[in-house]
Structure 1
Amino acid sequence: MSVTERDYGIDCYVELVNEKNQLTGDLASIQLKSKDTIDWNLDNTLTISNIKISTSNYWYRFPVPVFLCVTDNQKKEMYFVSVKNFIKKNFLTFAKQKTFNYSISKDMDFFDKKSGPSLFRLRYAFQDSRNLFENEMKTFLSTLERYHNFQDEHSYRDYHLPIESVDLIFFEAMYRNYFFIADYLLIEHPILSLRELKLKSKQVFKDDYYELYEHDLAQVVEDFRNLSLKIIKGLKQKVEAEKEYWITIDLNLFNYVTNIKDNGELPHY
């Protein structure tokens, strides 16, 4: 979908397809720059300058994920950078509101025929789900102690006891919170989906009234403890990579995350 000359800072929109080549309804906005040949720096990066700070502000606030794409016409190659993710990693320069340059890596940002579409979809998902990720991260951090207490409480109970309604509601909320953050941070884990876990419980206990039993929680408690540590490590790395953004936007969260110990011990002030 092309954009008219009156539009500001966006050349076109593209609709994403899934791995089965089916349209998804997800739109990405594209700013395209074309070069006869890309003159790479010694470190295999390309610096894109002369973009107005007002344009970067527009891209940063744009409701649709924005990508800056550069083509090498001679080699028929394309490279791309996720605008909002790049801004967050270089937020202090952006916040000065003077000049702001973008950088593209020859090795990391290449859109090739084999892996380019998957890489683009992945970076799109990071941008599109970013606000939700920040909310889920705050939920995780503020509830982590309760999560750990819940996991401890359900480690040694009678396996044949059903999970009562209020505990099941909490468990499902914990489950979704963990799963979303793990998926966003690309963390692998062996925990079954909630649907699979309930189906497995039904097959074992043959009960249509209760959805889960203590037996089911006991089987995944240790996996959740291990996943907690992986998520904490992932969040610490994420916050450190976006240090400038978090120090500017939420210094309290930055200090809290960086002071969580690698063993999962939470800071107490």
Structure 2
Amino acid sequence: MKLPKRVPQHISETASFKLFSSKIPDNWIIRDITERDYGIDCYLELVNEDNELTGELALIQLKSRQSIPWTADDYYTLTGVDIATSNYWYKFAVPVFIFLADIDNKELYFISVDYHIKRNFSVFVEQRTFNYKFKKTNRFEGKDGVFSFKFIFYYEYYRQQFENELLFFLSNLQHFHDFQNEHYNQDFHLGIEDEDLIYFEAMHRNFKFLCTYLNIDNPIPKLSELKRRSREKFKEGYHYDLYEHDLTEWVGEFQKLTSEITKKLKQFLQGELHYWLIVNPTVFNYVSNIRED
């Protein structure tokens, strides 16, 4: 009696999905989709350590190999992805990841589509073929694997905000310099007027975000903490949210951070050289010519 048989592709798809499901944290959510023919197999929703649903989503494409043939340099190149699929992934407003399952060894590896495209942009814009080069170090296993994935996820999740904050930083560099000098060694008891306070809050927010995104240590306290300290210092006759004492105390750190952010931005844009030269050469040239001091 002849009976239906499962095709090898379907067996591999099931095996890779089971492996993927077994590796992600138990409190994360896999959201299935009904249409899988367009390069997305499922949504992955990250849940924080307090088991709160964050609304932070990644789109996942699952690929599998019975056994991954790593090169001597611990790389594996995934070929055969249609350029239209890469274009589709690139247009999503949320991060897209490819997870590659090694069925025999029960191991899982990942790559960020957007990250890889921006660092190989000259090949991508040719719109012929585009391959994905997996690193063996990008193994999704245990706490280290989760940490690595989350690091790259947030890197992509906040990418548009980064580009906005980058432009704000560059367009305000001279203003930052003038503002910091203006509020250095002023009379400690003078209150910060609303106009300057609004500008300071914008500068503080900008530096805080860029330091976090570029992995720079930032010793400057949160704005709410600065205001709390100010209330304690000037509790008698307290009329302002901040005083010159508060700005003078941190002007030196802001100046150091300006230099450090500039240095990191040069490195960052150099890593995406062709992306910036094609998409926004003005920004690339401007950053390249900034003096770090």
TM-score (norm 2): 0.87
Query: Could you tell me which amino acid in structure 2 is paired with residue 238 of structure 1?
Result: F
Deviations 1:213-243 (A, max 9, x none): 0000001100101111110011101100000
Contact 2:276/2:283 (<8 A) preserved? yes
Query: Could you tell me which amino acid in structure 1 is paired with residue 206 of structure 2?
Result: N
Deviations 1:42-69 (A, max 9, x none): 1111101100000000000012210011
Once residues 63 and 95 of structure 1 are traced to their aligned partners in structure 2, the CA distance between those partners, rounded to angstroms, is 19
SS at match of 1:13: strand
Once residues 179 and 54 of structure 1 are traced to their aligned partners in structure 2, the CA distance between those partners, rounded to angstroms, is 38
Once residues 37 and 211 of structure 2 are traced to their aligned partners in structure 1, the CA distance between those partners, rounded to angstroms, is 37
SS at match of 1:103: strand
Q: CA deviation at 1:76?
A: 1.6
Equivalent in the alignment of 2:160 = 131
Equivalent in the alignment of 2:182 = 153
> Which of 1 and 2 has greater Rg?
2
Once residues 7 and 40 of structure 1 are traced to their aligned partners in structure 2, the CA distance between those partners, rounded to angstroms, is 28
Q: CA deviation at 1:262?
A: 2.7
Deviations 1:96-145 (A, max 9, x none): 000001111112x1112122222222211111111111011011001011
Once residues 273 and 72 of structure 2 are traced to their aligned partners in structure 1, the CA distance between those partners, rounded to angstroms, is 26
Q: 2:270 aligns with which of 240, 260, 263?
A: 240
Equivalent in the alignment of 2:202 = 173
Query: Could you tell me which amino acid in structure 2 is paired with residue 171 of structure 1?
Result: F
Question: How many residues get paired?
Answer: 262
Equivalent in the alignment of 1:34 = 64
Q: RMSD of the TM alignment (CA)?
A: 1.2
Once residues 112 and 184 of structure 2 are traced to their aligned partners in structure 1, the CA distance between those partners, rounded to angstroms, is 43
Once residues 143 and 194 of structure 2 are traced to their aligned partners in structure 1, the CA distance between those partners, rounded to angstroms, is 47
Once residues 79 and 238 of structure 2 are traced to their aligned partners in structure 1, the CA distance between those partners, rounded to angstroms, is 63
Q: 1:102 aligns with which of 125, 132, 135?
A: 132
- What is the 5 A alignment of 1:54-69? 54-69=84-99
Equivalent in the alignment of 1:202 = 231
Q: CA deviation at 1:19?
A: 2.9
Query: Could you tell me which amino acid in structure 2 is paired with residue 145 of structure 1?
Result: Q
Q: Is the alpha carbon distance of 1:7 and 1:27 closer, same or farther for their aligned partners in structure 2, counting shifts above 3 Å?
A: farther
Once residues 203 and 106 of structure 1 are traced to their aligned partners in structure 2, the CA distance between those partners, rounded to angstroms, is 53
Structure 1, unaligned runs of 5 or more: 264-269
1:70 aligns with 2:100: yes
1:4 aligns with 2:34: yes
SS at match of 2:32: coil
Equivalent in the alignment of 1:267 = none
Q: CA deviation at 1:6?
A: 5.2
Q: 2:77 aligns with which of 42, 47, 50?
A: 47
Q: CA deviation at 1:208?
A: 4.5
Once residues 110 and 258 of structure 1 are traced to their aligned partners in structure 2, the CA distance between those partners, rounded to angstroms, is 34
Query: Could you tell me which amino acid in structure 2 is paired with residue 31 of structure 1?
Result: Q
Query: Could you tell me which amino acid in structure 2 is paired with residue 176 of structure 1?
Result: R
Bigger CA drift: 125-134 or 21-30? 21-30
1:222 aligns with 2:252: yes
Structure 2, unaligned runs of 5 or more: 1-30
SS at match of 2:101: strand
1:117 aligns with 2:146: yes
Equivalent in the alignment of 2:110 = 80
TM-score (norm 1): 0.94
